[in-house]
């Protein structure tokens, strides 16, 4: 099956960029995404603060490289999931502020994903620290 848009659908004008221009655009869009999330999302700001505390602690703890990687990775995963959750919420709000069962379901599922990523941090950190002793 070919990878082409449905009949009548327009291709994004940004899809034609290649090489260095595409990389520069991607970096700029990513920076704007981080800035927007930090500016508009309280949960993201709180999780960035958590990351700013936990990542240096992980790097300073007397655990092996794999333990450090797991600890840092679990914290970064929270930020990734929060960014995706915020994107879903923004897209739903763009469509409509009306209450709808599917909108609620999508937002609740995104929230559950964030909760699981936070539980993952606790479990990973606990297991790495317990393994050290």
Question: Residue 53 in 3-state DSSP?
Answer: helix
Q: Residue 3: phi, psi to the nearest 5?
A: -95, 80
How far apart CA 24 and CA 124 sit, in angstroms, is 35
Active site residue 11: no
Of 69, 86, 61, 78, the C-alpha closest to 120 is 78
Query: Residue-wise over 3-28: b if at least 16 C-beta within 10 A, else e?
Result: eeeeeeeeeeeeeeeeeeeeeeeeee
How far apart CA 6 and CA 121 sit, in angstroms, is 41
Given the residues 11, 42, 47, 82, the one annotated as active site: 82
Query: Active-site residue numbers?
Result: 82
């Amino acid at each position: 099956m070919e990878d082409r848009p449905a009949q009548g659908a327009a291709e994004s004008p940004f899809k034609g960029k290649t090489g260095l221009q595409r990389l520069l655009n991607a970096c700029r869009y990513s920076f704007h995404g981080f800035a927007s999330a930090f500016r508009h999302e309280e949960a993201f700001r709180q999780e960035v603060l958590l990351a700013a505390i936990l990542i240096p602690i992980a790097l300073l703890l007397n655990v092996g490289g794999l333990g450090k990687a797991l600890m840092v990775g679990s914290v970064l995963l929270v930020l990734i999931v929060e960014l995706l959750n915020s994107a879903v919420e923004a897209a739903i709000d763009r469509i409509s502020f009306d209450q709808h069962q599917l909108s609620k379901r999508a937002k609740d599922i995104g929230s559950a994903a964030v909760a699981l990523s936070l539980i993952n941090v606790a479990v990973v950190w606990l297991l790495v620290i317990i393994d050290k002793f």
